[in-house]
Amino acid sequence: MATKKPQYKDKSEAELVKTLKEKREELRTLRFSAAGARAKDSNAPKKARKEIARVLTEQGNRAKKA
């Protein structure tokens, strides 16, 4: 059963920035931990990049409307 992806349309700009910062940090730690040993979830970096893209897309859409 697939998990429901988070909705960013109803979040404030500050929440989007915070989420973006957290996801980028998560991706960075995943990259460095993967260099040392085999990762438990090999798709985790891909998922993190997709979440980052979702946040950036929402920020871009808001910038166009403003």
For 26-38, what is each residue's pLDDT tens digit? 999 988 887 777 7
The mean per-residue pLDDT over the stretch 30-47 comes to 82
Burial of 43 from C-beta contacts in 10 A (0-12 / 13-18 / 19+): exposed
Residue 33: per-residue pLDDT: 83
The mean per-residue pLDDT over the stretch 54-66 comes to 92
**Sequence-distant (≥ 6) Cβ neighbours of residue 13 within 8 angstroms:** 59, 62
Query: Does the predicted TM-score (pTM) go above 0.85?
Result: no
Query: Given pLDDT bands bounded at 50, 70 and 90, which one contains residue 18?
Result: very high
